[in-house]
Structure 1
Amino acid sequence: MSAQHAVPDPAAQALAQAVGRTMYAADAASQGLGARLEAIAPGSARMSMTVRADMLNGHKSCHGGFIFALADSTFAFACNARNQATVASGCTIDFLAPAREADVLTAQAREVSLAGRTGVYDVVVTNQEGRQVAVFRGRSYRIQGNIVAQPD
């Protein structure tokens, strides 16, 4: 098992969960999407959302911007989970299949690389049947600060 897939130590996991709670409480965008944070660990996160009627485009499929927003939010939780403030420096997305009204989309983010202040994260978005809807790659950059207060 590689280090990035190893089970985190309990303190790192507890910190990631505190970061997730703190970030989600302040994240009006993810809340507005109806996105739910289902899991978080150092370097990874999982979120889901149900496609609503107001998310549909003229083809009656989920607008790509909503799928992107779910993937981007999941990326943000994954790259901040170590409690070091981190922002996106760039990203790409490929749409693979349409999502329809009432579909439950799940985005799973995993850290591919973390070196110095930069990281690379892959996010796979699937529907309730496990079909891949999109793949997203985000590049992160660590800035100064923490999400939750560090003990002295």
Structure 2
Amino acid sequence: MSSNSQATREHATLPHLSPDELARLVGHTMYEADACSRALGFELAEVRAGYARMRAAVRPEFLNGHGICHGGLIFTLADSTFAFACNSYNVNAVASGCSIEFLRPVHGGDVLTAEAVEQALTGRTGIYDIRVTNGAGETIAMFRGKSAHIKGHVIPPA
């Protein structure tokens, strides 16, 4: 994981928290406001500075006409995980671009795990790789997201 001076300055607004404590607090705050992830049953399993992990059970309504998990749901899980990782410094960040590669099908009843890892954070731009695995630990998709910091904070500075 990398860091930058802007994230450090923002962390200074809540100096009693370590970077990982801040990330967990930001993650919890965002999750409570994220109606989409909650409605889809996505579970926020872990958040650290520049890192997030989410899980989702593949429900019957997530299956497409081929009887496999709809790619849009896999993308949404990866994108949500990306959002928690790139906002973990309490500096508002949005996606400025992303791509996904689907590597194998996913069947109903499986449990997906998406793990986002910060690759670079320079100035206002971050790059995050998100690996999505099935219950057997096999990689089913790879997602890369580029983030851009915007004005504001998830948790207003003290």
Candidates 8, 19, 24, aligned match of 1:12: 19
Report the alpha carbon displacement of residue 149 of structure 1 after superposing the two structures with TM: 2.1
Report the alpha carbon displacement of residue 135 of structure 1 after superposing the two structures with TM: 0.2
C-alpha separation between the residues in 2 aligned to 1:11 and 1:31?
27
Partner of 2:29: 22
Aligned structure 1 segments of 4 or more residues deviating by more than 3 angstroms: none
The within-5 A match list for 1:51-66 is: 51-66=58-73
Identity of aligned residues (%): 53
TM-score when scaled to structure 1?
0.93
What amino acid is the match of 2:41? G
Candidates 130, 139, 153, aligned match of 1:146: 153
What amino acid is the match of 1:86? A
What amino acid is the match of 2:96? S
TM-score when scaled to structure 2?
0.89
C-alpha separation between the residues in 1 aligned to 2:87 and 2:46?
13
Partner of 2:123: 116
1:81 aligns with 2:61: no
What amino acid is the match of 1:149? P
Candidates 15, 18, 35, aligned match of 2:42: 35
Partner of 2:104: 97
C-alpha separation between the residues in 2 aligned to 1:122 and 1:52?
25
What amino acid is the match of 1:78? A
Query: Which stretches in structure 2 are left out of the alignment for 5+ residues?
Result: 3-16
C-alpha separation between the residues in 1 aligned to 2:139 and 2:18?
33
Secondary structure of the corresponding residue to residue 98 of structure 1? coil
Query: Which stretches in structure 1 are left out of the alignment for 5+ residues?
Result: 5-9
1:44 aligns with 2:51: yes
C-alpha separation between the residues in 2 aligned to 1:78 and 1:91?
14
C-alpha separation between the residues in 2 aligned to 1:100 and 1:93?
19
Equivalent residues, number:
144
What amino acid is the match of 1:18? L
> CA RMSD of the aligned region, Å?
0.9
What amino acid is the match of 1:90? G
